[in-house]
């Protein structure tokens, strides 16, 4: 019984437009969370963004055959980009609101 590899780093540079898009999703989640629920909403959105990012990357290997993606593995750097975008937005919100 073999173990299926589900996580593998994408070849190429670490900083890519795709990872910027992942960070953008995390950023938007935090901004929307802040607008809807203040500081608590922003904090919940950071946790949600990190969780959603991890789960999205975790199911990538199952979705890849249907969407014909070239890299049918989860990428930890992509998952971290969700969290980085969320934390960055949370810091901006924190300092911008004096919280």
pLDDT tens digits, 54-86: 888 888 888 888 988 877 788 888 888 888 888
pLDDT at 3 over 60: no
Domain borders along the chain are 30-96
Express each pLDDT in 19-30 by its tens digit. Answer: 899 889 889 989
Give the Cα separation of 32 and 53 in Å (integer).
16
Which pTM was predicted? 0.76
Question: Dihedral angle at the C-alpha atoms of 59, 65, 66, 72, nearest 10 degrees?
Answer: 40
User: Which residue bears the tokens 């904090």?
Assistant: 43
Given a contact cutoff of 8 angstroms between Cβ atoms, the answer to whether 43 and 30 are in contact is no
pLDDT at 52: 84
């Amino acid at each position: 019984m073999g173990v299926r590899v589900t996580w593998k780093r994408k070849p190429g540079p670490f900083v890519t437009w795709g990872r910027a898009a992942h960070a953008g999703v995390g950023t938007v989640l935090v901004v929307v969370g802040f607008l809807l629920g203040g500081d608590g909403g922003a904090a919940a959105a950071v946790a949600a963004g990190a969780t959603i990012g991890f789960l999205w990357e975790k199911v990538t290997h199952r979705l890849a055959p249907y969407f014909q993606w070239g890299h049918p593995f989860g990428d930890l750097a992509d998952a971290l980009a969700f969290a980085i975008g969320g934390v960055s937005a949370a810091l901006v919100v924190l300092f911008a609101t004096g919280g």
